[in-house]
Structures are given as C-alpha cells and as structure tokens.
Amino acid sequence: MEENAGLDIFISVLLRHPEFNAVKYNAANGEIKIEAALQGEIEKGTKDNFMTEGMKCVGLFHKLSGIEASIIRINFEEHSTSNLTLLRYHRDVESLTEGEVEVFAGLLQKSFDEFIIRDSGKIITEDGFKKRVKENLLYKINRGKTSTSNFLAYREHGRVLVFNK
C-alpha cells in the first residue's frame, strides 16, 4: 500500500502545484523529491533563512499533526551557466501528506514568488482525473512488469510527463 500512497502524492503534487516543476519518486528508498525552479542566483543568506524557516514551519506542522518524518531535507542547487537555482524538498513517502505539501508550497510562494518559474499551461486537477492517471500508471507498471523503483514527473506546457527511470 505504501507504493499507492507514494503514487498518490507523486501525482497530486504536480497536478495541484504549478510552482513545482518536477517530482522524483524513489519507491525502493521510500523517498520523494519535490523540485522548484527559481530564476537567477539566490543569495546565500536568503537560502539559509529559507531552509531555517522551512524546517521550523514543517516541524511545527509535523508536531501539530503527530507526524514523525524519517527523511526531511531542503537544499538548493545553483546552475550559474543557465541562471537557474533548483530548490529541492526531500521527504519520506510514508509520512508525507498533502497538507505538508501545501505548507511547503505556501512557504515557497511567500519567499520566492517573483523567482519561481511556473508552467503557464492549465492542468485538470479533479479527483476523477487524478484517479485515472494513477490507474493508468499502475496498469503500465504491472503490464510491462516494470520496476517501480524510480519515477520522474515534470510539467511542460500544461502537461505532466511521467517517466519510469
């Protein structure tokens, strides 16, 4: 069932949050990485403040929700040649909730709204659509006897593209 819970979060993150440009799901390690692309280089002090505030906010959410996370990290990766900074949020799938993703997305918008590179295309986010996407993914995995250990999804022009790495 953990695999299904992981797929639910994996699918939900990109369908509901245009501020996240990619999600990586490693079922074997039980880890999900949520990624936001930021335009330009972010100052070290700003990154440090965001990581501190992010950990405090998420920690408070965990305390109030009774969640014990085994994996929780925030990191930035600079790409100076493309004038891009990637912000990554690493979490264990077992304890990650949509509520926590909402908290993190809100913090991201509050801190970096003018820097976030968003996909401008509209994506259907109804529960029925998400259910069909999940069923389709599970069907393809089971039909192809494919390993479900690594998935990558990203947004492009209003579409969510999912790959089994």
Q: Note the pLDDT of residue 123.
A: 54
Q: CA 116, CA 158: separation in Å to the nearest integer? A: 16
pTM beyond 0.95, yes or no: no
What pLDDT was estimated at residue 1?
Answer: 38
Mean pLDDT, residues 4-32: 81
The number of beta carbons lying within 10 Å of the beta carbon of residue 58 is 20
Tens of pLDDT, residue by residue over 73-109, are 999 999 988 999 999 999 999 999 999 999 999 999 9
Which residue segment(s) compose the domain that 102 sits in? Answer: 2-164
Q: Could you tell me the CATH number of the domain that includes residue 124?
A: 3.30.1460
Q: For 99-137, how does the pLDDT look when each residue is reduced to its tens digit (9 = 90+)?
A: 999 999 999 999 999 999 987 655 555 566 666 766 666
Dihedral sign, Cα of residue 157, residue 75, residue 6, residue 63:
negative
Number of domains observed in the structure of the chain: 1
CA distance 111 to 123: 24
For the chain, the average pLDDT equals 82
